[in-house]
Structures are given as structure tokens and as C-alpha cells.
Amino acid sequence: MHDIDTRIKDMIDNNDVVLFMKGTKEMPQCGFSSRVAGVLSYMGVDFEDVNVLADEDIRQGIKDFSDWPTIPQLYIKGEFVGGCDIVTEMVLSGELDQMLEAKGVSYSKEAADKIREANA
């Protein structure tokens, strides 16, 4: 199991934003993964997508690593953010904007505002 933890930690450490998801950002394989990838893409966040369906060790390993039972899982600058519901709440409240700004990750404030306006 140590090897999987090392692989996961390397992915998280070597990318500012990582989304462990079912499928890819170009072709998500579940609605929750699609929502988070879509929001990040719309907001112009440059992120690494890791398709857990392509590697069973990663699929189970990320759940053990984060002690979080579901996919997708978002990490920003090494910090576990959460899954679809948490990311959605953070976008709508503006917390995700604050986190991205605090960690120096570029994104479109205008796009984030449009998401909030559309969901008001």
C-alpha cells in the first residue's frame, strides 16, 4: 500500500490542483465528477485530472489516503478540499474563490460570479 500512497502524494505535490475523478475532464464518467470538472474548467482553473477508473489501486488508494469514501476528490496546493457537494457549496458561497486566491491559483473571478448569479 505504501507504493500507492507515494504515487498519490507525488500527484498531489507535483500539481497545484488535482481532481481524482471517474473519467477525464474531457470525458467524465459520472455526474459528480462531471460537475466538479465542469466548474473548474469553466472557472479557468488549470487542473490535473486523475481517472480512478483506469487504475483500481488509485481508485481505492485515494479513498484510504484522504479517509474520504467517495469520488471525485479535489486537492488544491496539497490540501484536500472535498467532493462534489463540498466543492459546489464552496463555489456558491465564494469560499473556493478565497481558497484559490489565498493559494495563488489563477481562475476567472468573472466566471465564478456567473456561476453564483445563475444559481441565485
Instruction: Please give the tally of structural domains in the chain.
Output: 1
- Nearest C-alpha neighbor of 26 from the set 56, 55, 47, 57: 47
- pLDDT score for 120: 86
pLDDT in tens, 107-118: 999 999 999 999
Query: What length does the chain have?
Result: 120
pTM of the complete model beyond 0.85 = yes
Mean pLDDT of 29-52: 97
CATH of the domain at 39: 3.40.30.10
pLDDT in tens, 67-108: 999 999 999 999 999 999 999 999 999 999 999 999 999 999
Q: Give the domain range for residue 87.
A: 2-118
* Three-class DSSP category at 120: coil
Percent of the chain with pLDDT over 70: 99
Alpha-carbon gap, residue 89 to 114, rounded angstroms: 15
Whether the pLDDT of residue 1 is over 70: the answer is no
Mean residue pLDDT across the chain: 96
